A = this chain, B = another copy of it.
């Protein structure tokens, strides 16, 4: 438990200046092969590792990226966090993680903490009403990738799924299965301006049949529990409901459970379409028909966009829109 070796220690051991050791550590060139060899040997012997904290203090780069999520226990999230962490590490970066529970105050706290620790950039699943925060940090120079929302500001890039198309696909699938009395379960954590899947769904219904097709909307937590509650609400609005589009797969699963509990069969009486395509959806009975969002793709695009932003901060860029697809299984 002695002190860790420093650049200075290595220099002393070899008999060169710290500047020279710094050169070889960072592969800058400008030293003889012998010098290099001796320095490397000393580094090995002293187990020298560059102190990233000291380096960060000068360079303003800490080799870290921050991931700001809503809630790690949302099954949509882990694969994403894993992918981002993986990509970041390939670039020599370490990942911070913090969740906000969609609360803007907690998001502010998280951003402040990340900023004070000199993160190179952040990937954010924005909390409710937090665009101003993000714009502000972007202006102050923090590279930000926003997922699933549009914000225009310096140093901010956006990556999103084509959720309107997802809603449309769900509607078409339900319609072609002969469903005519539809309900959608939206999420309380999703502000009106971000309800793209719902809008796509309703738009497709309208296109299909003028505005004569009724559609009721319920709001719920984005959980299985929420889905159960949402189903009850939908039913109270439209007792002869025969098709449901759910905010996500968890909600869809909740809706199916509530349907079963009320004596209705899925898909015979009520067809259900989810969104996300989490692993569980293939294992439940009936297996869930859903809109697949490719999380691996999202991880890659988000990290790529972030590195882009870090390398060329000035340049503005277009939002990246990721395609979605409908996966037909048993529930619809």
What is the size, in residues, of chain A's interface with B at 8 Å between Cβ atoms?
Answer: 51
Listed stretches A31-39, A109-117, A209-217; interface member:
A109-117
In Å, the complex CA distance between A325 and B112 comes to 41
In Å, the complex CA distance between A116 and B25 comes to 14
Instruction: Determine whether the beta carbon of A283 is less than 8 Å from that of B253.
Output: yes
Instruction: Determine whether the beta carbon of B141 is less than 8 Å from that of A117.
Output: no
Instruction: Determine whether the beta carbon of A95 is less than 8 Å from that of B94.
Output: no
Are A78 and B73 CB-contacts (below 8 A) given A95-B97, A117-B64, A141-B1? yes
Q: How far is the CB of A58 from chain B (nearest CB, A)?
A: 10
Instruction: Determine whether the beta carbon of B89 is less than 8 Å from that of A79.
Output: no
Chain B residues positioned under 8 Å from A94 (CB to CB): 96, 98, 113-114, 117
Q: How far is the CB of A309 from chain B (nearest CB, A)?
A: 14
Chain B residues positioned under 8 Å from A109 (CB to CB): 89
A1 is contacted by which of B56, B114, B140, B283 (Cβ under 8 Å)? B140
Instruction: Determine whether the beta carbon of A53 is less than 8 Å from that of B97.
Output: no
Q: How far is the CB of A257 from chain B (nearest CB, A)?
A: 7
Q: What residue in chain B is nearest A3 (Cβ atoms)?
A: B141
Residue interface mask A22-63, B partner, CB < 8 A = 1:
000000000000000000000000000111111011000011
Residue interface mask A113-154, B partner, CB < 8 A = 1:
111111000000000000000000001110000000000001
A257 is contacted by which of B57, B95, B253, B283 (Cβ under 8 Å)? B283
A73 is contacted by which of B50, B79, B99, B139 (Cβ under 8 Å)? B79
Chain B residues positioned under 8 Å from A99 (CB to CB): 82, 85-86
In Å, the complex CA distance between A62 and B96 comes to 13
A116 is contacted by which of B51, B77, B113 (Cβ under 8 Å)? B51
In Å, the complex CA distance between A53 and B60 comes to 9
Instruction: Determine whether the beta carbon of B117 is less than 8 Å from that of A52.
Output: yes
Q: What residue in chain B is nearest A313 (Cβ atoms)?
A: B1
In Å, the complex CA distance between A82 and B64 comes to 19
Chain B residues positioned under 8 Å from A114 (CB to CB): 94
In Å, the complex CA distance between A63 and B109 comes to 14
Residue interface mask A272-292, B partner, CB < 8 A = 1:
000000011001110000000
A71 within 8 A of B: yes
Chain B residues positioned under 8 Å from A319 (CB to CB): none
Which A residues are closer than 8 A to B by beta carbons?
A: 1, 4, 49-54, 56-57, 62-64, 71-73, 75, 77-79, 81-82, 85-86, 89, 94-99, 109, 112-118, 139-141, 154, 224, 253, 257, 279-280, 283-285
User: 11 other contacts beyond A1-B154, A72-B81, with CB at 8 A cut-off?
Assistant: A1-B139, A1-B140, A53-B116, A72-B82, A73-B79, A77-B78, A78-B78, A82-B99, A85-B98, A89-B109, A94-B114
